């Protein structure tokens, strides 16, 4: 089996050296080149044709976002972004995911060498996932027609993964809703979403399709601290429902979505007649904090048959067992299908656990959930 070939693009000599060392320690991958800026990287990609590149967000001469945008239009390929843990870094990283980057690694501003060593497993896992992704060409509304790629350029390795970039580059405005109302279903039901790699855009697809009177939505997306607030703000501008980072003790309301803060677990509890968000620190669960397992277990325990579970793209098995608990407690559960996942890990494990009633393409999930909700009109609904 051939090794995954990687080109590292970063203006820091230290980071280039560290990433090269981390990659070359793995038996299944090798760093075949490093570049200090995108102009050098462009020639290196053309000549070496790597399977994956790691790309620094902020670099001289041309920043990582401009380079990524050009790359995904002219020569689409798997990219893992290397971002800094800053407000600016978070905003740019989210833009990179929108443009088609498979995932990102957040490096600390200080203690970079030690920080990267601690992230070695995370970095190499994300490179492996990126190498399996099927990447779509980026189409920007203002872009001129693009010539065919050079004869030496190969397409990304084919697999069950897809990174959608068709709508990247647009400037969204919060849309108005035209869907039929859901009535009291919105106050009785809660939608639970779990996602990891590829989930930022998958969650956007689901939330943007929900009406303003949707039931409350509670989301665990695997993200590190410092990124979820910006992510919530971005979704809030795109969706009919309001989207925010969850805070401990707040009531879960219809027409609102709550995202687990990076580095903290999110769950749901009862307070009288209301459901509230519980945001707490704790040990990682299934290597993750926040963990989908924690959120879905609370859904099974507290919300029972009034919960709707959605498992989106992501590596690993986080949340699969708890989703089965949700189903056993009477919840209706859906998983994203293999063909539309960036990583068919978490949905596959949920399906294998017998935890889902339906497996659907990403673009059909929101409408299917709404149809299911409307079909329950007239059925007895009660808080558990």
pLDDT at 111: 79
pLDDT at 175: 56
Which part of the chain has CATH 3.40.50.180?
Answer: 185-375
Q: Is 222 noted as a catalytic residue in this protein?
A: yes
Strands 256-259 and 216-221: parallel
pLDDT at 84: 77
Mean pLDDT of 188-214: 95
pLDDT at 380: 41
Query: Phi and psi of 193, rounded to 5°?
Result: -125, 130
pLDDT at 208: 97
Closest by CA to 219, choosing from 196, 244, 194, 200, is 194
Mean pLDDT of 42-53: 95
pLDDT at 174: 58
Q: Is 248 noted as a catalytic residue in this protein?
A: no
Given a cut of 70, is residue 363 above it in pLDDT? yes
Q: Which CATH number fits the domain 4-140+156-163, given the four candidates 3.40.50.2300, 3.20.20.70, 3.10.20.30, 3.40.50.300? A: 3.40.50.2300
Task: Read off the pLDDT band of 226 (50, 70, 90).
Answer: confident
Dist CA 220 CA 212 (whole Å): 21
pTM for the full model? 0.84
Residue given tokens 């808080």 in the structure block: 383
Query: pLDDT tens digit string along 61-116?
Result: 788 889 999 999 989 999 999 887 666 778 888 999 999 999 998 887 777 788 88
Mean pLDDT of 344-372: 97
Mean pLDDT of 209-231: 94
Which candidate in 10, 213, 236, 318 is catalytic? 318
Which part of the chain has CATH 3.40.50.2300?
Answer: 4-140+156-163
Task: Read off the pLDDT band of 144 (50, 70, 90).
Answer: very low
Judge residue 364's burial from the number of C-beta atoms within 10 Å of its C-beta, 0-12 exposed, 13-18 middle, 19 or more buried: middle
Residue given tokens 């293999």 in the structure block: 338
Mean pLDDT of 126-150: 62
Residues 243 and 207 sit within 8 Å (Cβ to Cβ): yes
Given a cut of 80, is residue 160 above it in pLDDT? no
Mean pLDDT of 231-235: 96
Given a cut of 60, is residue 55 above it in pLDDT? yes
The per-residue pLDDT of the chain, averaged, comes to 86
Class of domain 185-375: alpha beta
CA angle 216, 181, 303 (to 5 degrees): 30
Which candidate in 196, 214, 291, 298 is catalytic? 196
Which candidate in 10, 222, 288, 298 is catalytic? 222
Judge residue 374's burial from the number of C-beta atoms within 10 Å of its C-beta, 0-12 exposed, 13-18 middle, 19 or more buried: middle
Given a cut of 70, is residue 151 above it in pLDDT? no
pLDDT at 137: 65
pLDDT at 92: 87
Of residues 278 and 157, the one with the higher pLDDT is: 278
Mean pLDDT of 334-353: 94
Query: Phi and psi of 39, rounded to 5°?
Result: -70, -40
Q: Report the percent of the chain where pLDDT is more than 70.
A: 83
Dist CA 138 CA 382 (whole Å): 46
pLDDT at 271: 94
Residues 296 and 194 sit within 8 Å (Cβ to Cβ): yes
pLDDT at 306: 96
Q: Report the percent of the chain where pLDDT is more than 90.
A: 67
Given a cut of 80, is residue 223 above it in pLDDT? yes
Given a cut of 90, is residue 335 above it in pLDDT? yes
Closest by CA to 45, choosing from 159, 164, 154, 157, is 154
pLDDT at 278: 98
Q: Is 196 noted as a catalytic residue in this protein?
A: yes
3-state helix/strand/coil string of the chain: CCCEEEEEECCCHHHHHHHHHHHHCCCCEEEEEEECCHHHHHHHHHHHCCCEEEEECCCCCCCHHHHHHHHHHHCCCCEEEEEECCHHHHHHHHHHHHHCCCEEEEECCCCHHHHHHHCHHHHHHHHHHHHCEEECCCCCCCCCCCCCCCCCCCCCCCCCEEECCCCCCCCCCCCCCCCCCCCCHHHHCEEEEEECCCHHHHHHHHHHCCCCCCCEEEEEECCCCCCHHHHHHHHHHHCCCEEEECCCCCECCCCEEEECCCCCEEEEEEECCEEEEEEECCCCECCECCCHHHHHHHHHHHHHHHEEEEECCECCCCCHHHHHHHHHCCCEEEEECHHHCCCECHHHHHHHCCCCCEEECHHHHHHHHHHHHHHCCCCCCCCC
Of residues 114 and 364, the one with the higher pLDDT is: 364
Q: Is 11 helix (H, G, I), strand (E, B) or coil?
A: coil
Q: Which residues pair with 268 in a beta bridge?
A: 277
pLDDT at 128: 93
pLDDT at 106: 85
pLDDT at 327: 98
> How many CB atoms are located within 10 Å of the residue 339 CB?
12
Return the minimum-mean-pLDDT range out of 93-107, 219-233, 277-291, 367-381.
367-381
Task: Read off the pLDDT band of 219 (50, 70, 90).
Answer: very high
| Chain centre distance of CA 38 | 25
pLDDT at 249: 97
């Amino acid at each position: 089996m051939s090794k995954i070939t990687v080109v590292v693009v970063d203006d820091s000599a230290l980071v280039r050296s560290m990433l090269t060392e981390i990659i070359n320690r793995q038996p299944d991958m090798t760093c075949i080149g490093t570049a200090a800026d995108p102009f050098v990287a462009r020639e290196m990609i053309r000549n070496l044709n790597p399977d994956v590149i790691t790309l620094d967000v902020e670099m001289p001469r041309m920043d990582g976002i401009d380079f990524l945008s050009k790359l995904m239009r002219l020569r689409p390929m798997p990219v893992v972004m290397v971002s800094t843990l800053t407000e600016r870094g978070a905003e740019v990283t989210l833009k990179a995911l929108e443009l088609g980057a498979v995932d990102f690694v957040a490096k600390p501003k200080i203690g970079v060498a030690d920080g990267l060593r601690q992230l070695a497993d995370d970095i190499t896992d994300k490179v492996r996932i990126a190498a399996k992704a099927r990447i779509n060409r980026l189409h920007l509304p203002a872009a001129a027609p693009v010539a065919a790629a050079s004869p030496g350029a190969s397409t990304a390795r084919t697999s069950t993964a897809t990174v959608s970039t068709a709508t990247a580059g647009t400037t969204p405005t919060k849309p108005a809703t035209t869907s039929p109302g859901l009535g009291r279903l919105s106050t009785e039901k809660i939608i639970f979403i779990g996602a990891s790699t590829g989930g930022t855009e998958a969650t956007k697809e689901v939330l943007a399709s929900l009406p303003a009177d949707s039931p409350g939505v509670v989301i665990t997306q695997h993200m590190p601290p410092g990124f979820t607030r910006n992510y919530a703000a971005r979704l809030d501008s795109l969706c009919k429902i309001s989207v925010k980072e969850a805070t401990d003790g707040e009531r879960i309301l219809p027409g609102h979505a709550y995202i687990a803060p990076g580095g903290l677990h999110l769950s749901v509890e009862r307070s009288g007649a209301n459901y509230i968000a519980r945001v707490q620190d704790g040990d990682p669960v299934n290597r993750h904090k926040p963990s989908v397992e924690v959120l879905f277990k609370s859904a099974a325990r507290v919300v029972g048959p009034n919960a709707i579970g959605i498992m989106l793209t992501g590596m690993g098995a986080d949340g699969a067992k708890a989703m089965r608990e949700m189903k056993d407690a009477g919840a209706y559960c859906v998983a994203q299908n293999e063909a539309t996942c960036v990583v068919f890990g978490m949905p596959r494990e949920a399906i294998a656990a017998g935890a889902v009633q339906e497996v659907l393409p990403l673009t059909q999930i929101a409408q299917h959930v709404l149809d299911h909700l409307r079909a329950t009109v007239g059925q007895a609904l009660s808080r558990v």
